[in-house]
Amino acid sequence: MPTIRTMAAGVALAAAMLAGPVQAGDPVAGALKADTCMGCHGVPGQRNVYPSYHVPKLGGQHAQYLVDALRAFREGLRDHPTMNAQARSLSEGDIEDIAAFFAASEPGSRGR
């Protein structure tokens, strides 16, 4: 039979999980780490070669969306050879910092 202490710990854990991500990235550190991203995402009018489409502007995007997207590229769940290669080199902290940087940037901007 669970003790009050065990039940309290379970309730605290459940509340923390429902609250969402606990740690947010550092946008200042993310600015440095996003330097490579700027080679495509920082160029006005940049187009992907194949398939051909405009490279997305990331400024003002929701941080959690960017975290989820980078994780998916890193794990190969989203298919884009350049993004897969870039994301594979990123740690969880790098991803959170980069996402925080772009989220703090002017909406619709290229991150600077």
For 75-102, write each residue's pLDDT tens digit. 999 999 999 999 999 999 999 999 999 9
What CATH number has the domain spanning 25-104?
1.10.760.10
Which secondary-structure segment (H or E) carries 54?
A: strand 53-54
Instruction: Name the 3-class secondary structure at 53.
Output: strand
So where are the chain's domains? 25-104
For 5-37, write each residue's pLDDT tens digit. 544 444 444 444 444 454 689 999 999 999 999
* Alpha carbons 85 and 76: distance in angstroms, whole number: 9
Q: Which of 92, 84, 87 is nearest to 23 (CA)?
A: 92
Predicted local distance difference test score (pLDDT) of residue 74: 98
- Residue 88, CA distances (Å) to 6, 19, 54, 76, 80 in order: 38, 28, 23, 9, 12
pTM: 0.74
Predicted local distance difference test score (pLDDT) of residue 23: 62
Predicted local distance difference test score (pLDDT) of residue 42: 87
Predicted local distance difference test score (pLDDT) of residue 45: 82
* Alpha carbons 24 and 57: distance in angstroms, whole number: 21
Predicted local distance difference test score (pLDDT) of residue 36: 92
